[in-house]
Structure 1
Amino acid sequence: MGNPEVKVPPQNIEAERCVLGSMMIDEEAIGTAVEILQEDWFYNEAHRTIFSALVDLYNDRKNVDLITVTDKLTAQGQLDKVGGVAYISSVIDTVPTSANVGHYANIVKEKGILRRLIKNATQIVSDSYEAKGKIEDIVDDAERLIFEVADLKQQQQSYHIKDLVKDGIEKIDYLYQRKESLTGVPTGFVDVDKMTSGLQPSDLIIVAARPSMGKTAFAITIAENFALKYSGGVAIFSLEMSKEQLVQRMLCSQARVDAHKVRSGFLSPSDWPLLTKAAADLSNAKIFIDDTPAISALELRAKARRLKANHDIQLILLDYIQLMRGSARSESRQQEISEISRSL
């Protein structure tokens, strides 16, 4: 049998050369490149070394050209390893202009992300074969490795305030034309809605109070109101109550039937029509319940993404943070809760 085909990892050497060449002929290109790239994104080891030297010079506010770069690499004992002055000169000659440095840098980044994905996927396969530890920990690590790659693709950028002001004025004009006090997800509590104008997109809201003060009831009422009155999609992650308990509680809430009467079975004939109507209303609502115990932030993120893609949920209710499972590497429960909050 012949040797299996050796696959070359994703890479684009020419794009790497174009990035480095652009950085050496135009210092503004360095600023563009460092916003997009990190050293590991370069496949060629010599290119990683040159990129690091360029960034060091840039950070030290020194001129970046053939002389300073070769001098820097010579001082580091790296000049011959990268191919000498001749190779650096050839890199500079690769591009006539730095105008496309952002395009070249994104190509290099995409190839680097693909290599990281291959590396992490290989680690997942290896961990699965070895099967050391609990299956939950193996799955958690797998999700973490995949989401780590997904996060690399996301790139926040800076905006000039001129562009933000334009968007801000357009938003204000939109609100002026509507003249509605509610601009976000309504809670169903008039006073809360007046103060917040509704729950706004991307808000993380933590309901805090002493035990048995009605935190869960308050949150569930918000979820019910949004799903039933406004036909919004809601995901409820219940770590304390089972899905059966939660549904029973929601039925009682909607029917205005005493929950104790339901639990004890002493219902009056007049309660049944109310419960039947509540059941019909809830059945048609876009409410999705997950009662996975000790769910991790990674698991919740994966489930929420699927629900958003398949059912366009707009509100997530989590009951409650302290019952979530954090990283096994956390040194204390306080640190673990802080990590979970940051993840949310």
Structure 2
Amino acid sequence: MKILVTGSAGFIGFHLVEALASTENTIVGVDNINKYYDSSLKYARLEESGINKRDIEWYKEVKSSKYINYKFIRLNLEDKAQLLALCAREQFDIIIHLAAQAGVRYSVENPDIYVQSNVVGFLNILEVSRYFKIKHLIYASSSSVYGLNEKMPFSINQNVDHPVSLYAATKKANELMAHTYSHLYNLPTTGLRFFTVYGPWGRPDMAYFLFADSISKGKNIKVFNHGKMKRDFTYVDDVIKGIINILDCPAKPSFEWCGEKPEPSTSKAPYKIYNIGNNNPIELISFIKEIEKNMEETAKMEMLDIQAGDLPETWADIDESTNQFNYKPDTSIETGIYNFIKWYKKYYKIETVVEEF
């Protein structure tokens, strides 16, 4: 199969390309390499996949020197003409759409960019998917869509009409837009609600990355909600296995679906939503202690109230994901944080050595 991966210089996109490139599939990655966080990390991920930074600046397409079945194209998804031209030339079978403007708190400060990237960009992905009859569109949603919901664990059968950040609202919009295209054009779409993904090569704006960075520099770390928030931290390798497992499971119409009592995660159209989480929420303060242990340093904590747009707790019900495509996360927090800190110290050339776990 020929697969388009958007956001391939991003955290999850990079890991997905690394996994897919070891298969017989042909992979094309696209990313606009924006400056939401330090672009040098994005280029470093690309270099790890055999894509030379200098070549990106000179050529429209760069073939990987590491994988014969992978090439990268710098492209902005808001540019519909370029995206159409790419899809017309490549004739993809599957699109895995991971590109987005991320960050709950940043969406409070810069709402415009979220609408352009997450709504306009996704509309263009839907348009090319229907034009070129994509066999399966898989796209990233978020646990943030659960918003004001308090019933735990979060279930795909719950209503998610009360988001508390614009980021979450754009992800909810993506799910609605996907359903519309599934209904109108018989386009199989699968939305994956990711729950706090962490691991090596992660995003520097994520809490665990900020904690490690501040601890290594002797700076205070900001601990919101006084460390009482709980997150369903999900290790990136488990997420990637879930995505790969679902490649050959395109959404199908549910013949049991009823408009009088509509089930939110499915439809009479080929549309499906799944949770991709760890099904094991961890209190933030415990997560920090695990980072401290691996950093071999004590954190200087600045306890703060919860921030606007943050959820006090997330917890994924993954029964449907397990039943439908054998999604079984099995990486412990201890192993996951060990792997992250080991990478972090190597990447940033911090000399202290973490003892083997």
TM range (shorter): under 0.3
Flag the structure with larger Rg.
1
Q: What's the TM-score once normalised by structure 1's chain length?
A: 0.26
Q: What's the TM-score once normalised by structure 2's chain length?
A: 0.25
Q: Point out the structure with the larger helix share.
A: 1
Greater RCO between the two (CA within 8 Å, min separation 6)? 2
Q: Point out the structure with the larger strand share.
A: 2
